[in-house]
Amino acid sequence: MRILITGARGFVGPYVAQALKRACPDATILSTGVLAGAHPLLGLVAAFDVTDPTAVATGIQAFRPTHIVNLAGLAAPTAATAAPRAAWQVHVQGVLNLAQAILDHVPDCWLLNAGSGLVYGESAKPGLPLDESALLAPVDDYGVTKAAADLALGALTRRNLKCIRFRPFNHTGAGQSEAFVIPAFAMQIAQIEAGLAAPVIRVGNLDAERDFLDVRDVVEAYVLALQSTTSVEPGLILNIASGVPRRIGDILERLLGQSRVAIVVEQDPARLRPSDIPRIIGDSSRARQVLGWAPTHTLDETLADVLNDYRARVRQPI
């Protein structure tokens, strides 16, 4: 195997690199960007930008991968809202550039694309588990661009593109930025514990319910899929989800239960998002059947990892 990871410098990238090194020790694994020193075994094929079709084609011609794990993207929906043009360029044009380079130069290569469960959008309003047949009805720039890329890849399978389209739901872990709800809570708790903030945590809507996974479980699904490309149909869509709705307020209570100090919770009107869909929950039955995948990390374990990560950041700020 010759595995290329795009977007490897993001939150998920190092987890994918580590998991692939364990699962595929004989594979050659390269990235399109320099990872932190914790991953010295990864090579660098070229620091190309996925939005540059010439650079993408040159890099893929040079490395000739058998598999590409595409993680390139704007990590947070808020980032896509702030820069919608960039979201379209990376999430859609970047995916099309990778797909075209594969078709032109390495037609037997498999593209594993990290999409998002947010492509379902309005379809989540009834509050029922969403499987892969649910209508794509995204409600923001992030979801729309992820949906567009997903649909484009599906169409390209008619031109013999070999791809797997992942739709992971919320996932978190050590290393994720505070642009996401669980790290945002963890950062506030860590700062309070360190005496850097008053013992008050300010929150938005605590009643929304979301489907949360540990990033390591999501990555395990990616690795299992990569190892299964000889037996799956091109264009396969896979939800990666826990199937368990978690109320945001309950997650905060669990985090506060791990805190070393007493903390008061106050609602911050600036953090309220009245357009929130009350419940978003995924059905990952297909991934369980096709890949034999199931999440193995408990929520409390994941929350402890995130909180300890932010405690370390507060002690030794970057």
CA distance 113 to 6: 10
Domain extent for 98: 2-171+213-244+282-295
188 within a domain of the structure (yes/no) = yes
Residues 117, 10, single domain; the answer is yes
Q: Do 199 and 265 form a contact (C-beta atoms < 8 A)?
A: no
Check whether 167 has a pLDDT greater than 70: yes
CATH number at residue 258: 3.90.25.10
Residues 98, 159, single domain; the answer is yes
Check whether 40 has a pLDDT greater than 50: no
pLDDT score for 315: 86
Average pLDDT of the chain is 92
pLDDT score for 67: 97
Task: Tell me the average pLDDT across 35-50.
Answer: 57
257 within a domain of the structure (yes/no) = yes
Q: Is-above-0.85 flag for pTM?
A: yes
138 within a domain of the structure (yes/no) = yes
Polymer length in residues for the chain: 318
133 within a domain of the structure (yes/no) = yes
Residues 126, 230, single domain; the answer is yes
Convert the pLDDT of each residue in 68-105 to its tens digit: 999 999 989 999 999 999 999 999 999 999 999 999 99
Residues 35, 165, single domain; the answer is yes
Residues 104, 196, single domain; the answer is no
Q: Which whole-number Å values give the CA distances from 307 to 73, 204, 217, 255, 304, in the listed order?
A: 25, 19, 18, 8, 5
Task: Tell me the average pLDDT across 109-138.
Answer: 97
Give the single-character DSSP code of 270.
G
117 within a domain of the structure (yes/no) = yes
How many separate domains does the chain show? Answer: 2
176 within a domain of the structure (yes/no) = no
300 within a domain of the structure (yes/no) = no
Residues 83, 191, single domain; the answer is no
Residues 115, 221, single domain; the answer is yes
**DSSP string computed for 20-81:** HHHH-TTSEEEESSPPPTT-TT-EES----TT-HHHHHHHHHHH--SEEEE--S-SSHHHHH
231 or 30, which is more confident = 231
**DSSP string computed for 98-137:** HHHHHHHH-TTPEEEEE--GGGSGGGGTT-PPB-TTSPP-
Token pair in block for residue 224: 């299992």
Check whether 55 has a pLDDT greater than 70: yes
170 or 44, which is more confident = 170
Residues 152, 260, single domain; the answer is no
User: How many helices and strands in the chain, by DSSP H and E?
Assistant: 11, 13
Per-residue b or e along 27-45, where b marks 16 or more CB atoms closer than 10 Å to that residue's CB: eebbbbbebeeebeebeeb
Convert the pLDDT of each residue in 254-310 to its tens digit: 999 999 999 999 988 877 765 578 999 999 999 999 999 999 999 999 999 999 999
Residues 223, 77, single domain; the answer is yes
Q: Which helix (H) or strand (E) holds 2?
A: strand 2-6
197 or 8, which is more confident = 197
Crossing angle of helices 299-315 and 181-193, rounded to 10°: 50
Check whether 52 has a pLDDT greater than 50: yes
pLDDT score for 36: 42
CATH number at residue 63: 3.40.50.720
CA distance 191 to 69: 35
42 within a domain of the structure (yes/no) = yes
Residues 112, 48, single domain; the answer is yes
Q: Which whole-number Å values give the CA distances from 246 to 85, 127, 214, 297, in the listed order?
A: 32, 12, 13, 15
Residues 258, 286, single domain; the answer is no
Q: Are strands 209-211 and 245-247 parallel, antiparallel or unpaired?
A: antiparallel
Crossing angle of helices 248-257 and 299-315, rounded to 10°: 60
Q: Which whole-number Å values give the CA distances from 37 to 8, 13, 159, 199, in the listed order?
A: 13, 13, 39, 36
Residues 84, 154, single domain; the answer is yes
Token pair in block for residue 158: 């008619």
